[in-house]
């Protein structure tokens, strides 16, 4: 389980670095137009992925594979939503469908916490 946790930590660190670099390059070529969604898109995997998995590693908490898969999907959903919203802001337009990303991410977070607990308790009894 520790190996799986370290793998998730590594991938979230790479995803954080990629989003930080992507946001910086995109802002560089945006002709002076900025978007906080684009600038801070890297914060989502940093907080939800790197920091959470670091704390789990330090405290020897090893979540199940189901939790990790759903949680990582929530991180990706929030991150992509931030980048998409940032692109739209820099372009100078809006889209009402951007609300889908935070809603879907929040639902995935809830599922990540609820679903593995149900499976774990039903398998143990």
pLDDT value of residue 28: 87
pLDDT value of residue 104: 97
Taking only the tens place, the pLDDT of each residue in 12-60 is 999 999 999 999 998 888 888 889 999 999 999 999 999 999 999 999 8
Q: Which of 32, 68, 18 is nearest to 48 (CA)?
A: 68
Buried b / exposed e along 10-47 (16+ C-beta atoms within 10 A): ebbbebbeebbeebeebbeebeeeebebbbebbebbbe
pLDDT value of residue 122: 43
For residue 63, what pLDDT band results from cuts at 50, 70 and 90? Answer: confident
pLDDT value of residue 119: 52
Residue 125, pLDDT > 50, answer: no
Query: How does DSSP classify residue 93?
Result: -
Taking only the tens place, the pLDDT of each residue in 84-107 is 999 999 888 888 889 999 999 999
Q: Which of 73, 59, 66 is nearest to 12 (CA)?
A: 73
For residue 5, what pLDDT band results from cuts at 50, 70 and 90? Answer: confident
pLDDT value of residue 25: 92
pLDDT value of residue 121: 44
Alpha helices in the chain (DSSP H): 2-28, 36-39, 43-45, 52-58, 65-91, 100-124
Q: Measured between alpha carbons, how far is 48 from 113 in angstroms, rounded to an integer?
A: 13
């Amino acid at each position: 389980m520790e190996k799986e946790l370290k793998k998730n930590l590594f991938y979230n660190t790479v995803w954080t670095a990629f989003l930080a670099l992507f946001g910086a390059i995109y802002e560089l070529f945006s002709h002076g137009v900025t978007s906080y969604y684009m600038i801070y898109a890297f914060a989502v995997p940093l907080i939800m992925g790197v920091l959470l998995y670091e704390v789990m590693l330090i405290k020897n908490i090893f979540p199940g594979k189901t939790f990790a898969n759903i949680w990582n999907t929530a991180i990706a959903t929030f991150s992509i939503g931030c980048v998409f919203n940032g692109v739209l802001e820099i372009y100078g337009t809006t889209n009402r469908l951007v609300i889908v990303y935070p809603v879907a991410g929040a639902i995935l977070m809830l599922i990540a916490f609820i679903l593995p607990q149900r499976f774990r308790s039903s398998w143990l009894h």
